[in-house]
Amino acid sequence: MSGARKPAARLGPQLCAHALHYLLFAYRGRQLLRRRPSLGGPRRPTFGVPGDDVALTIDDGPHPRWTAPMLDLLDRHGVRATFFLVGDRVREHPELAREVLAAGHLIGNHSMTHPQPFAALARHEITAEIDRTQREIEDATGHTPRLFRAPGGNWSPGVLRTTAELGLVPVDWTVNPSDWRSPGVDRIARTLSRTRPGQIMLCHDGGGDRSQTVAALAEVLPRLTDRGLRFVTVPDDR
C-alpha cells in the first residue's frame, strides 16, 4: 500500500501546480484588460509599474549568443530593462551578468535551474532554488537582487510565502508575446505594440534561438517611445 501511495503523492503537487497555472493565466487576462494592472502586495505578485511608464523584462539568460545583441539593442534605444537571470546560467557566464549590470539594467532572480512546474516543488526546494541564485548573482556581480520571478510565473501561496521570507518582491507580467515559442517576428511585435502605460512586458534572451525576439523589439521599442512611453525598471523597493 505504501508503494501505491508514492506516485499519487508525487502527482498531487503537480496537479495543483498545473491548476494554479491556468488560474493565473485567467488572472493575467483580467490584468491586461484593467486600466491599471495591480502593483501587488507583500504576498501578491506585481503585474504593473506605477504611473505612465512601462517596464521591459528579459528572462532566462544570460545567454552566450543572445544577451549581447539584446544589450546592444537596448543601448541604441536608450531603454533600461529588468533581466531575470537563471543561476546556472550566471555560473556558466558570469561576465555576461556583469555586462547586464554595467549597462545600467536591473537584475532579478529567476531560480537556479528553472524547474517547472515551480509550485510543485517542496518548500525547502523552492528556498534552495532562490537562495542559490542569490549567491550566484552576488558572486558574479556584487549585486543582491530584490526581485524574484517564478519560472513560468507559477506562483502558489507557498512560493509567495517563501519569496516574502527571503525579502524579495514577486514580479509577474501583463504583456506576454510568447516569444519563447518563436511564433514569428510579426506576431511578437504585434503583441508588444499593444503595451499600455503601467504594464510589464515579458521577453526572453535565453532558452533558445531569440533572433525573433531581438528583431521584434527592434521594431517595437521606437514605436512605443514615439507614443511617449518611457521605459523603467521594475521597482525593487516595495
Structure confidence by residue, pLDDT tens digits, 39-65: 998 789 999 999 999 999 999 999 999
Q: Quote the pLDDT of residue 4.
A: 43
Q: What is the mean pLDDT of the chain?
A: 94
Q: Quote the pLDDT of residue 24.
A: 87
Helix 157-165 vs helix 123-141: crossing angle, to nearest 10? 40
| pLDDT range class, residue 6, cuts 50, 70, 90 | very low
Q: Under 8 Å CB-to-CB from 132, ≥6 apart: which residues?
A: 87, 112
Q: Quote the pLDDT of residue 11.
A: 56
Task: Over range 106-129, report the average pLDDT.
Answer: 97
Of 178, 179, 166, the closest CA to residue 111 belongs to 166
Using CB atoms within 10 A of its CB, is residue 113 exposed (0-12), middle (13-18) or buried (19+)? middle
Q: Worst-scoring range by mean pLDDT, 38-52, 59-73, 179-193?
A: 38-52
Of 102, 108, 105, 79, the closest CA to residue 192 belongs to 79
Active-site residues: which are they?
A: 59, 204
| pLDDT range class, residue 150, cuts 50, 70, 90 | very high
Looking at the chain, the whole-number percentage of residues with pLDDT higher than 90 is: 86
* Residue type (1 letter), 177: P
> What are the start-end ranges of the E strands in the chain?
55-61, 82-85, 106-109, 147-148, 169-170, 200-204
Whether residue 148 is predicted with pLDDT greater than 70 in this model: the reply is: yes
Q: Which is it for the CA torsion 176, 34, 42, 23, positive or negative?
A: negative
